[in-house]
Amino acid sequence: MNTRTSIQGDVGVVTLSGALSFELHQTLKQATHPMLENPAIKVICVELAEVSAMDSSSLGMLLLLREKALAQGKSVELRKPSPIVLRILEVVQFGRLFDIT
Amino acid sequence: MRLLAVDDDAATRLLIRRVLERDGWEVILAEDGPQALALFRTDPPDLVVTDYQMPGMDGVELCRRLVEASEGRFVPLVMLTSGQDSDLLPRSLEAGALEFLNKPVRPEELRSRMRALASLARMHNALAEAQAENEHEITVVKHLLERLTAPGLRTLPPGFVMETLQTRRINGDACAYLRGPRGIHFGLVCDATGHGLVAGVSTLPVLETFNAMAPRDLPLESVYNEVNEKLIRLLPPERFACLLLLRLDPEEGALRILNAGMPDLVHLGPEGEILGRIPSGNLPAGITRHSGTTRVAELRVRPGERIFAHSDGLADLLREEGIRELLLPSRPSVPAGDLPRRLRQSVEGSLLNAEQHDDISWSLWEVPEPHPILPPPPPRNPGRIPTQLGFSVAFEADPRHHDVRDLVPNILGLLGFQGVPRPQVELLGILASEALNNAVDHGLLRLDSRLKGDGFQVWEAARRAAIQSHAGGTVRCEIRLAYSTEGDHRLDHLAVEVSDGGPGFDWRSIRDTREGTEPHGRGLLLLSTLAQDLEFNESGNTLRFRIPCQGPPPE
């Protein structure tokens, strides 16, 4: 599981890869903590193009991230999910909670 | 207020109008009975003054008709009399008149009598309104109680009876039943202090706690402590609730009882003989946090024996002797299973002679035969394509020694070689991992996924601790490649079975999590939506599902 981060204007991008499961929480926390603290960042974008699978724990982590972001007045976007990941996001109706692009 | 004056004599009518209008009344007039009745219906007054002697319908008859027409509404009726007819007074009272005025009418007397009656009518109406509101509120609380208990009580197995006979008001009784994991039965008989709404409201937290904790098979002590804590927090000091908690494990032949302030629980033999009694060993819930050790009694029970519990409403009605008589060994001609019917008859019989002052609850369980631990699943979908051809791969591992999820990719690789298309392999990887996670985390380790709400590091630490202290047990995963028996025997579907050595869980209580934002509870949603034919065994420690696919024929 590899995680990269970058900042583009007021958007913080976290790029995840591989099969996501609950081990993700450490790396996701390390990657997003500075973004949550940074007032210049308005949107946290989770790049999913290289993610091959997600389990329910990793879905839960996205929800916790969203909750923290909302508390800071930021939003969370999920970007470029693969077909199978998009299907999972649809099943749990994350479209209601996140911008999925 | 509006007053209807009825008299065939125009002078009296006008006198009444003049006197009372000056006192603030709206006065309407009628010359005779039929006219009065018509006005009464179209323009209902708050009070009626009628002459007795009138041609056609007299005052007594008019009163009788007015009472009928008022349909329960309280309208004081006043009779004007001039004669010395000694028979008139009782006949008028019987017909519904409330007051008498002598003719000729004296203005001062008329004014003061009408003022007194007006204030009586106002009080009466205020009381009726308050009562209607109270009854509405009681209906709402009854509905809440029903919502909390009915789903469980509908699943009462044969041989189990639990009933609450409520009074028109509420008196705080409730019965609840739930089926826990591994066929364990949980019961609650509860009697909150006081009457009316407060008693009803007091039972709501008791029921909610029972409903939340019983299906997870938490110890009765914990359920009691939680109820106690909640009631202390929520209720005023003088309010509390007596309760009896039951946990029957037919497999072990063990009945656990926590009696807190309820009448003795009675253990009956198959012939109705009394084998023992369990008196209350604990304070009712909601009194103090410092009542010492919580006492739970344990009884060995055998199939066919019965367990009888009741609230004190039954004791009040039938008296100790009455209950003892009911429980006497039945005569050979009366089958032992007849007790519920005799109970109902006895209660109904006693209620004929007495008003019901308190709710009455009782619970009678006949200890069932133990179940086979894993009953065979019922045959399903007989019409589907028979898929006898195929092979399966399986692994079984102990989570103390292997992270089972690491094994999944190896299996997926193997399936790839067998020509299973890539999308189905991907989906299988996701769903098998999800099912295995559940089997390990919840099935074996009994972790509560609500810990995830506290952040995943809490969850991970709890998981690591649970693995280290885990006594052992394995999870097993089997994947079967099923080929069609028809045509060229192409691959038809993947059948997956994941089981664990834990006690299982109540899959009937799974809730839809799509609407919520809690960070847990979506694993089964994924499985039930993305897989086909998801099913659990009875105890909930084995799940099966299918992934349909169109693959090549076998090599």
Average pLDDT over residues A34-54: 92
* Integer Cα distance of B63 and B45 in angstroms: 14
pLDDT band at B10 (very low <50, low <70, confident <90, very high): very high
Query: Both B117 and B258 in a single domain?
Result: no
Taking the alpha carbons at both ends of chain B, their separation in whole angstroms is 98
Q: Which residue of B has its CA nearest to A26?
A: B457
Better-scored residue on pLDDT, B492 or A48: A48
* Integer Cα distance of B417 and B253 in angstroms: 51
Q: Which residue of B has its CA nearest to A87?
A: B530
Percent of chain B's residues with pLDDT above 70? 91
Query: Both B87 and B216 in a single domain?
Result: no
* Integer Cα distance of B97 and B48 in angstroms: 9
Average pLDDT over residues A14-32: 86
Query: A80 exposed, middle or buried (CB, 10 Å; 0-12, 13-18, 19+)?
Result: middle
B514 vs A60, A64, A93: nearest CB: A93
User: Does residue B100 register a pLDDT over 70?
Assistant: yes
A22 vs B423, B429, B459: nearest CB: B459
User: Does residue B382 register a pLDDT over 70?
Assistant: no
- Give buried/exposed letters for B394-425 (b at 16+ CB in 10 A, else e): ebebbbeeeebbebbeebbeebeeeebeeebb
Query: Both B300 and B169 in a single domain?
Result: yes
pLDDT band at B373 (very low <50, low <70, confident <90, very high): very low
* Integer Cα distance of A74 and A90 in angstroms: 23
Query: Both B360 and B393 in a single domain?
Result: no
Last residue of a domain, one of B88, B113, B128: B128
Cβ distance of A92 and B452 shorter than 8 Å: no
pLDDT band at B515 (very low <50, low <70, confident <90, very high): low
Residue B77 lies in a domain: yes
* Integer Cα distance of B446 and B454 in angstroms: 17
User: Does residue B474 register a pLDDT over 90?
Assistant: no
Using a CB–CB cutoff of 8 Å, tell me whether A30 touches chain B: no
Residue B217 lies in a domain: yes
Using a CB–CB cutoff of 8 Å, tell me whether A87 touches chain B: yes
Mean pLDDT lowest among B52-61, B149-158, B458-467, B536-545:
B458-467
Q: Which residue of A has its CA nearest to B431?
A: A55
Helix (H) or strand (E) holding B391: strand B389-397
Chain A, residues 42-71, CB within 8 A of chain B, namely 52-57, 59-61, 63-64, 66-67
The residue ranges of every structural domain in chain A are: 3-100
Average pLDDT over residues B321-348: 68
pLDDT band at B387 (very low <50, low <70, confident <90, very high): very low
Chosen from A32, A54, A56, A92 to mutate, greatest number of chain B CBs within 10 A:
A56
pLDDT band at B259 (very low <50, low <70, confident <90, very high): very high
Cβ distance of B522 and A92 shorter than 8 Å: yes
Q: ipTM for the complex?
A: 0.75
Average pLDDT, chain B: 84
How confident is the model over B114-167, as pLDDT tens digits? 999 999 998 998 898 888 888 888 888 888 888 889 888 888 888 888 988 877
Query: Both B15 and B95 in a single domain?
Result: yes
Query: Both B102 and B183 in a single domain?
Result: no
Q: What is the domain-level CATH number for residue B116?
A: 3.40.50.2300
Average pLDDT over residues B391-397: 83
Domain of residue B67 covers 2-128
Range with top average pLDDT, B41-45, B243-247, B391-395 = B243-247
Residues of chain A neighbouring B520 (CB-CB closer than 8 A): 56, 60
Cα torsion for B371, B377, B378, B382, to the nearest 10°?
-170
* Integer Cα distance of B526 and B145 in angstroms: 33
Average pLDDT over residues B399-428: 81
Using a CB–CB cutoff of 8 Å, tell me whether B528 touches chain A: no
Residue B372 lies in a domain: no
Average pLDDT over residues B86-114: 89
Chosen from A54, A57, A96 to mutate, greatest number of chain B CBs within 10 A:
A57
Query: Both B247 and B356 in a single domain?
Result: yes
Task: Tell me what pLDDT residue B75 has.
Answer: 92
Cβ distance of B522 and A60 shorter than 8 Å: yes
C-beta separation of B286 from B241 below 8 A: yes
Query: Both B346 and B481 in a single domain?
Result: no
Q: Which residue of A has its CA nearest to B438?
A: A56
Using a CB–CB cutoff of 8 Å, tell me whether A18 touches chain B: no
Query: Both B314 and B414 in a single domain?
Result: no
* Integer Cα distance of B289 and A26 in angstroms: 40
Cβ distance of A60 and B517 shorter than 8 Å: no
Residues of chain B neighbouring A59 (CB-CB closer than 8 A): 519, 522
User: Does residue B54 register a pLDDT over 50?
Assistant: yes
Q: Within a 13 Å sphere around the CA of B99, how many CA atoms are in the beta-carbon half? A: 20
Query: Both B403 and B444 in a single domain?
Result: yes
What are the tokens at B46? 């708050």
Task: Tell me what pLDDT residue B507 has.
Answer: 73
pLDDT band at B371 (very low <50, low <70, confident <90, very high): low
Average pLDDT, chain A: 89
- A90's CB contacts (< 8 A; 6+ apart) are none
Number of domains present in the structure of chain B: 3
Q: Which residue of B has its CA nearest to A19?
A: B430
**SS3 annotation, B413-458:** HHHHHCCCCHHHHHHHHHHHHHHHHHHHHHHHCCCCHHHHHHCHHH
Chosen from B426, B442, B447, B515 to mutate, greatest number of chain A CBs within 10 A:
B426
Q: Classify A3-100 by CATH class.
A: alpha beta
Task: Tell me what pLDDT residue B379 has.
Answer: 45
The Cα of A55 is separated from the nearest Cα of chain B by a number of Å equal to 6
Query: Both B281 and B325 in a single domain?
Result: yes
φ/ψ (deg, to 5) at B307: -125, 125
Using a CB–CB cutoff of 8 Å, tell me whether B69 touches chain A: no
Pairing of strands B47-51, B77-81: parallel
Residues of chain B neighbouring A70 (CB-CB closer than 8 A): none
Contact pairs from chain A to chain B, CB under 8 Å? 79
- Give buried/exposed letters for B502-533 (b at 16+ CB in 10 A, else e): bbbbbbeeeeebeeeeebbbbbbbbbbbbbee
Across chain A, how many H-helices and E-strands are there? 3, 5
C-beta separation of B477 from B404 below 8 A: yes
Q: Where do we find the tokens 């799974």?
A: B510
Q: Where do we find the tokens 């972001």?
A: A69
Cβ distance of B437 and A63 shorter than 8 Å: no
- Give buried/exposed letters for B324-363 (b at 16+ CB in 10 A, else e): eebbeebeeeeebbebbeebeebbeebeeeeebebbbbbb
Residue B454 lies in a domain: yes
What are the tokens at B232? 């202390």
pLDDT band at B66 (very low <50, low <70, confident <90, very high): very high
Residue B376 lies in a domain: no
φ/ψ (deg, to 5) at A13: -110, 130
Q: What is the domain-level CATH number for residue B525?
A: 3.30.565.10
Query: Both B406 and B341 in a single domain?
Result: no
Number of CB atoms found within 10 A of residue B80's CB: 25
pLDDT band at A1 (very low <50, low <70, confident <90, very high): low
C-beta separation of B494 from B546 below 8 A: yes
Chosen from A55, A84, A85, A86 to mutate, greatest number of chain B CBs within 10 A:
A55
Residue B381 lies in a domain: no
DSSP labels, B171-218 = -SEEEEEEE-GGG-EEEEEEEESSSHHHHHHHHHHHHHHHHHHGGGT-
